[in-house]
Amino acid sequence: MLIQLVMLSSARIFAVITLILIVGSAPWSYAQDRPSGKSFATRSEVLARNGMVATNHPLATQIGIEILKKGGSAVDAAIAANAFLGLADPGMNGIGGDLFAIVWDANDKKLYGLNASGKSAMGMTIDHLKAAKAEGQSILTGPLSVTTPGCVDGWAELHDRFGKLEFAQLLAPTIQYAKEGVPITQEPATWFKGMEASVQSENNPTFKQLYLTNGKFPRKGEIFKNPDLANTLQIISDKGRDGFYKGEVAERITRHIQKGGGYLSKKDLANHSSKWVEPVSVNYRGYDVWEIPPNGQGISALQILQILEGFDMASMGFGSAEHIHHFVEAKKLAYEDLAKYYGDPDFGAVPVTELLSDSYAARRRALIDSEKVGEYHPGLTSGDHTIYLTTADSQGNMVSFIQSISYFFGSMEVPEGLGFTLQNRGGSGFVLDEGHISVYEPGKRPFHTIIPAFITKDGNPLVSFGVMGGDMQPQGHVQIVLNLIDFGMNLQEAGDAPRIRHSGSSLQGGHQTGAGTTYLESGFAYDTISKLMDKGHSIGMTKGIYGGYQAIMLRNDVYYGASESRKDGHASGY
């Protein structure tokens, strides 16, 4: 290096030394030399006037845009994109799962919330589950873990209220792709390979027949066809929601589950219905942040924001030890309530108003010591597998949309000839502890991790967004809000900035002591890590746990789109 410096002009020597000092003192992910001047943005926001779609798969985004160009609504585009993702990213989502959505209706100038989650089997009791567990049977996956899939009914409810195109037009692109085949992209290929060995030992012939060839999942770039799914979607296209919840499809689902020892019945499917709900919000520094109320975990993001509003987060600066410490401590406090209170409100009181009140936030905030970690503990730590997408149309309507089959490939149960996996929400969302709000009961909606989000300003739509990924979701929502409002990032940079994920918390129905582990994505300075350790944080580093973000912002009649750099997709507009 010294020899090279001697050969340079004095001006170049200064430039090289300056570069060395910058690289040596700052996280590698900073990039102030980019034209935008944005430290973390991997790319520019997408700007368009007539419509926008952001998903985790390029072809899903493309399908959504095509639907908008044909005159479809934001809801039409969301349904079409979601249908495709069930084909191309089947471990994460599909018609065997549930969905939630927040819709901004430009005509009513109002947000609508849809809870399209299914209930547990009426014929199964907690005694059945306890006996199965005592005998060593799996209740986390397999037939006993399956709840009624709510996705297709959710599509129907959204389309009936906000759709413009014929329903058949929305499913047609995926039906064609399912017949002709779609190349597998990087992210699902990575997940496939990671679970391949464990699948080999499973006695699950219909699952293996659908997804494996010679004992292997498809690799990146290999073509995956699913004619069974094409046929099922065609039935739904022709007959609507009844094509799924009644007739041949319902018969095959229940026959498969009951043959394996489960209890889901044709009556459970036929009686299913979604719920329109009022989204709930808190005001954070002049911005209203909205979530779907329980049985999901969305209000925990609002609780965290209520606590953090009492601190000057902006002056702490993004990535400082103070920023991370206060975020983690607020998260832990909110997740204690999540573990205790969140569940199906039809089966127990959920004190939403009190949990989101200023007075309660002040009491919880007072428990935070700015100099050291507290040993109080929060919520759920699950490896949830989900897709999130958001759409917007030329009329100003916007959709925040999330859909999942819970664990990767859900229950691992594939009814013969249907081409999709059923979710395991019963296994992942209920507890067996009597008296808890999420204790298993027949005909009950399980606790849900999947949550869409929305931000409004002065009664007008601003940002439709979400961050997929189990208990990362509320943590991710809060970090996006902080990045946008406190730290002044643009929509893309807010998602690209390195993230924090705290884990090791109490599960529903249980309690765990200790400080847990604070995982930090690459990009935080070592000085920050050292200070956090001095405060008592246990710091961890790993990959693939920091969620997946998509967002659309409406500003001055222009849509801004942003997409997760950690996923395969992108935002696109026209």
The residues annotated with a catalytic role in the active site are 386
**DSSP per position, 202-251:** S--HHHHHHH-BTTBPPPTT-EE--HHHHHHHHHHHHHTTHHHHSSHHHH
Strand partners of residue 422: 413
Residue 492 is encoded by which pair of tokens? 């893309």
Residue 95, φ and ψ in degrees, nearest 5: -75, 0
**DSSP per position, 118-153:** PPPPTT--HHHHHHHHHTT--SSSSGGG-----HHH
Does residue 521 contact residue 546 with C-beta atoms inside 8 Å? yes
Strand partners of residue 113: 102, 277
What's the rounded Cα separation, in Å, for the pair 431 and 126?
Answer: 9
Tell me, rounded to whole angstroms, the distance of Cα 234 from its chain centroid.
27
> Which residues have CB under 8 Å from 518's CB, separation 6+?
324, 328, 500, 501, 502, 532, 537, 538, 539, 540
> Which residues have CB under 8 Å from 439's CB, separation 6+?
126, 430, 431, 432, 433, 509
- List C-alpha distances in Å: 573 to 43, 174, 368: 15, 20, 43
What's the rounded Cα separation, in Å, for the pair 453 and 291?
Answer: 5
Strand (E) or helix (H) holding 178: helix 167-180
What's the rounded Cα separation, in Å, for the pair 2 and 112?
Answer: 65
Tell the residue number behind the tokens 């994920």, with chain if given. Answer: 501
What's the rounded Cα separation, in Å, for the pair 404 and 416?
Answer: 21
What's the rounded Cα separation, in Å, for the pair 192 and 196?
Answer: 6
What's the rounded Cα separation, in Å, for the pair 32 and 476?
Answer: 24
What's the rounded Cα separation, in Å, for the pair 84 and 26?
Answer: 41
